[in-house]
Structure 1
Amino acid sequence: MTVIVWIVEGTWPACIDAVRAHAPEDTDVVLVHVTGSEAPSAAHGAYAGLLGRARPERDPGTAVEHLAAASAEHLLADAASRLGRPCTRSERTGRVEREVVAAAAGADLLVLARDGDRTRLGPRSLGPAGRFIVDHAPCPVLLVWPETAPGIDTIPAPPHR
């Protein structure tokens, strides 16, 4: 059995705890972190457009790429430590939602946390990336709350007719 776990800052501990609670010990666990390409691209573009290309060593896009990689490495190390058993770490770059779906190809389970409005129950508890992943996942999905789930009294009232 292979379980893919989407590691995102702020919500990853709940995903790791779900794997520890629900996946057998002999499960192949793959921790996946995706760094979006938007920030480095914007920094590269701003530098090239505003300041020219005379000194590529001063391009802030490179520094942003290095910071993102270091942050991803740190998150994956923390997640692996919390998991407390062997796992594979995968760092990807690109469109986050598409990279997570691609990483889940061939997996038996994908674990992710809600990434939207977590103050109430309902579809808005999934942000755009989470919604895309849930809708397009090529395997079963375990969707967890990063903290205690809101009460059922937070469900919106039915529409008036």
Structure 2
Amino acid sequence: MSVIIWIAEGTWPACVAAAREHAAEGAELVLLHVTDDAVAEAAHGAFAGLLGRGHRERDPGTRLEGLARAATDDLFEEAERRLGRPARRLDLRGRPEQQVVRAAEGAELLICARDGERAHLGPRSLGPATRFVVDHAPCPVLLVWPDAAPAIGSLPPPPPPPPPPGRPGP
């Protein structure tokens, strides 16, 4: 069984710290990064559509793919250094929420971080991809704050009570 550590730009340090604290000593650790190819694909399409099919060396999508690979390599290296123990790298491409859920199949634990609003407690602290992962993960999920958690006073108020039966609402 493995512990999957989803390392995403902006939130990965908290996930690595949580793995150091919560993953069992003998657990197989997997650093997971997913590159969403939508931006590079859009650049490829724009280049082909607007500028024709020749001169592949000028295709901005190819440059974006190279930059994404270099950034991912740097992210893996820094995450491994901070983790302080061996980990396998898993570098996937596609829609992050789909790839993370698939990668978590058979895992003992998935560690991910909140990626939405960080100033308040509540459902908006999860971005759409992380919300999907939390809702669909096929294993237990450890959800961490990327920074210190907001104060309890930031908890949203409860919804208003429903109207009594037979009375119309407001």
TM-score category, normalised to shorter length: over 0.9
Aligned to 1:143, the other structure's residue is in SS state strand
Q: C-alpha offsets along residues 16-75 of structure 1, whole Å, 9 cap, x if unaligned?
A: 110111112211000000000101101001101111112111111111111111111110
State whether structure 2 residue 133 is matched by structure 1 residue 139: no
2:83 corresponding residue in structure 1? 83
| 1:19 aligned partner | 19
Structure 2 residue matching 1:148: 3-state secondary structure: coil
More deviation in 138-147 or 49-58? 49-58
Aligned residue for 1:40? 40
Q: Following TM superposition, by how much is the alpha carbon of 1:152 offset from its aligned partner in structure 2, in angstroms?
A: 1.0
Give secondary structure in 1 for the equivalent of 2:120: coil
Equivalences for residues 46-61 of structure 1 within 5 A = 46-61=46-61
How many pairs align?
161
Partner of 2:30: 30
Using structure 2 for the length normalisation, give the TM-score. 0.92
- The Cα offsets for residues 97-149 of structure 1, whole Å up to 9 and x where unpaired, read as 00111111110000000011111001110000000000010000000000100
- Residue 44 of structure 1 aligns to a residue whose secondary structure is helix
C-alpha separation in 1, matches of 2:93 and 2:67: 13
Which amino acid is 1:126 matched to? Answer: L
Q: Which residue of 2 aligns with 1:113?
A: 113
* Identical positions, percent: 60
Give the aligned partner of residue 165 of structure 2: none
* SS at 1:132 equivalent: helix
Paired amino acid for 1:47: F
Q: What is the distance in 1 between the residues matched to 2:24 and 2:110?
A: 14
TM-score relative to the length of structure 1: 0.97
- Displacement, 1:159? 2.5
1:66 and 2:71 are equivalent in the alignment: no
Structure 1 runs of 4+ with >3 Å offset:
none
What do you get for the CA RMSD once the two structures are aligned?
Answer: 0.9
Question: Gaps (5+ residues) in structure 2?
Answer: 162-170
